[in-house]
Structure 1
Amino acid sequence: MISSMESLPVELVDAVILYLPLADRQALRLVSKHLYSLTLTTFTTDYFSKRTTTLGSPSLKRLVAASAHSRFSNSVTVLDVKLLNYEDYENLRRIDRVGIYPPPKRLPKVPQVKTQDISLECRLFDYMRNHHDAKAVVHPLSRALKGFPNLDSIRIRVNGLTLYGNPYINADDKVYQDFLSACFKAVLDALVRSGVKLRHFTSIKGTAIRPISKSANLIYPAFAFSFPYLLSLQTAFASLKSLRLSIRTNYNRNARVPGWENGVSQFISAAPALEEFALCLQARDSEPWFRAAVMQSICRSVELPALKILQLYGCVVDELDMTAFFKRHTALRHISISDTELRSGTWASIMSLFKQDLDLEYLRFQYLQQSATPRAVQWGEEEKRSKLTIDARKSRHSDFMITKLSQAIATLAAAMEAHKVPEEV
């Protein structure tokens, strides 16, 4: 006999099970073949659209098994590559040396790793550092990527706070950064090998850049690729629309080869169809000139004709370089710049350029500085606000953006002339 729920339209069934927890959904799907069929699409979309994996062999084995599933593999659109931090691997080694599973309570736990996977998972750290060609990771990962026909995004993140530093990650900085760079290269190798055409690739956690994050903060040598490899990346990134990168430029201080700053810009240029680009640099480091060198290379050499959204965080740049970049990218509609310093020129001049040459829909400035007076750019004399947001999409008037930009430019210009904090825009 058909139950009352089985007689409901598919849309109503989807609306009902939307509020059920996973255990109840599983039980409901076992009631009958008809209910199993009715709930399959919603179930796979909600619980299989995103897969999370480490690069350890047990986790990759499960990922390959998921990619071989005839139904669930088609639902996967996002792959999260979650890397453990330095302390996690130290704890795994301690547990592995004791050899008791589950481990005694006196030993720290690594909640991301299953008990039966500890022994194999802890070996990944040394393997990635000691093998230039990490076939044990690249081959199964590429096989899994091939099995996800609708894969749209790859996100790399680290289990720990990285943007402003973390004692657990920096306990042995060079050792861990070598591991992180090797993992980044292995993911790219697998992507090239699989032939998958992504639309989104990110090492920044979340849609907005925050000081406290679990972003994979890569060192600049991680982007030092040969020309043939960049060509292969260009094929893999042919359909890439969004690229979001978090990079440490002060790594290894002055021990660097000439042209080191061009690696990042060459990597970005391998994705010529980008519509969104976000760059996060280490805003609190003590060598801003390294950040300036990377930004100079990007502004002078990168050309992305379809670029519509730009997000910069922690950068150091010159007015002439930024002006040249914006003049080449007239398709920009959304600009967000945070914790950024202008070494030469003024932000008022940059904003004047926006009014003249760009048809913006959204502009956000926060925590900006410049070498010119006043050094700290603020809006709001009483509140001393360090943020300015202009969103033309919230207004029905076509000249809303131009009007607000004109007000902001006039306020900044007057403040610099008077050498005082500007009044509210």
Structure 2
Amino acid sequence: MCEARLVLWRYAPRIIVITGSVGKTTTKDAIYSVLADHVHVRKSEKSMNSEIGVPLTILGQGNAWKNPFKWFVNIVRGILLLIIPQKYPGWLVLEVGADRPGDISSLARWLRPDIAVMTGVPEIPVHVEYFHSTEDVAHEKLSLLRYVRPGGTVILNGDDVRLEGMKKDIKEKCLTYGIEGFNDFFATGASISYEKGMPTGMKFEMHHGGVSEPATLYGALGTPRVYSALAAVAVGKIVGVGQAAAARSLGASVPSPGRMRTLDGTRNSIIIDDTYNSSPAAALSALDTMREIKKMPPGQGKPKRKIAILADMLELGKYSAEAHKLVGARAATCLDLLITVGFRARGIAQAALDAGMPDGNIRQYEQNEAVRAGNELESELQKGDIVLVKGSQSMRMERAVEEIMAEPMHASSLLVRQDDEWLKKA
């Protein structure tokens, strides 16, 4: 961390920090896409958002995991960066997360962002297990705002009641984004785009200052992706990137693995890979997206069955049972087949059954049976099936995706957690 602080002092880049309980990585990637064609910018890779990952991003180094030699190399390269002048990015786009109280403050007090982006805090946020309440999670996220540089800008998800209510207390310039028309940057007509009857992305019209611009995002689904795009357009405006240029950059961007990304499945099915992580808000949003997908009658070569493989949502503490029931009840309203993995996910299955989903349309697997769940589904997939796969990180649901994807030989570039260290884990 000391080296990273010295590098910031040495090169004085402008800093953009993104936090929140939903959509951080997608928003970070969208911001990077908007800026990359216009300024020299670096972003946090993957989800390097901790007290280790953020300094590594500043130093331009990767995670050495448990390799002492690689850590030594990282240290040496950091020293060289301080001693020998190099071409350093003028902008850093950094994602900051909070597993426990104090995590964000400990980073923000020395990062001192020029732009702070707050993505939202849902009713039951991820990592709430380590906090007393949702309000404590929100307080931790909002602590970032205390460290914004004088003259800096705060960008909030204005549709989030918790965040919108904080606007009046923010001393720095504050902009909002969202679907609702009262925001500084807002979207209308957000909907799923289709090609040959199959879902391919999201389309919408974005508005700011009386100017409208159509936008289409390819390769991933869901309204949260529209929110991320709007946040990126707001950041672009501050940096000097116009709406039209931002829309072009967003349309050309490739979504990150495991975040509502569409993949080709076997037998011309479609996979919605949302396996990076899971939380109640994210799972409910993913199921809402499944509901929105147009379902056509058999014989038309279009979506036939809506299927979801849903695994445990972890780190929810006292909210766990309630959260899994909420997801199960929602699943019953939009799925033809529900597959659960893990003992907590049994609550999803039971809630779906209680909500009227036929018992024959629900299957349950044990804690470490992601591969089996995917393998057994693969044998019966049909042309036009839409399969959502989602679960918390340690449930390793990317393994289920690999079983049903059309090109498993490309798993290393298409799926999450394909580093050697992850692949070694059971």
TM-score normalised per structure 1? 0.29
TM-score normalised per structure 2? 0.29
Determine which structure has more spread, i.e. the larger CA radius of gyration: 1
